[in-house]
Structure 1
């Protein structure tokens, strides 16, 4: 049995225990996902201060709805779906234009391997943050979920409630937009 399989089984057991209102198990789930979820919210909303408030709302929502989760193995996708929906609601309240931009698709082209190399080359976290901040909201979201959260296309599709084809399209266009921003950073 691989380490990854063992971790998945342990997580499923934690989810089952947390569904029975075991507070220690729930706290372990929070600790497991807290940093990654906070990072995702920061990148998605661009608001560090508000991310902490969003986190509290998300974890409260998770706690309330966890007993109704039928598939413990789907916890990660389910959690990110809740976070995604809460972040979209936050953005709608904060700025109607930003929420509208979330659903726009822009033009661009870069291969997935080039994108992965680009992330590897961008060792400085501040530079990565600056580059992501300059991207449109839908592009920032799919890039964060795919390359920083390492989610599959299927998982991203479920989180943002869209087809896999749309996810692929957004990734395609996001790569071009990111390439342009990186070129401007390095050549500008």
Structure 2
């Protein structure tokens, strides 16, 4: 009699657990929900890291972008050498492919700082990134190390400062791009300036 009672209790508990588990599965949200904007991939410069864009990311979130739309890559080659563009552009290529797969989108927007601009342009012009990038925004980008002309098929905005003492303005300027020269902001300051943030939003819209 005791055994029958225990078996009934065990079966009841098992049914409850199965119901809770099944209900839980039905409530699981997809890892990346459908979003309004293109995913934004942030590309840092020499000696930088993905966390360099924290200020910009937070601002974009106040302007309607969700966390599921914001991604920042960490590049392996953080020094200026012959292989920097070739190495880092392949990492960007793999990262963009991963972001597109996760989000189900067909294109990304890229926001790049300093040497990240050159790395991104190398990816776009040499590795077929122009088919996967809708907009490119460079901040004090060392763009001229790769090209002096904005790549076809990509909406390019180059934001740079008269007071940039690290990357000369002539390297940032691109023919055919929306070139925006500001003043009063240093090279690193481009990453945490409210005016720059509003220019980035306009460029991404």
Q: Shared fold by TM > 0.5? A: no
Larger strand fraction of residues = 2
Tell me the TM-score normalized by structure 1: 0.31
Tell which structure's C-alpha radius of gyration is larger.
Answer: 2
Larger helix fraction of residues = 1
Tell me the TM-score normalized by structure 2: 0.29
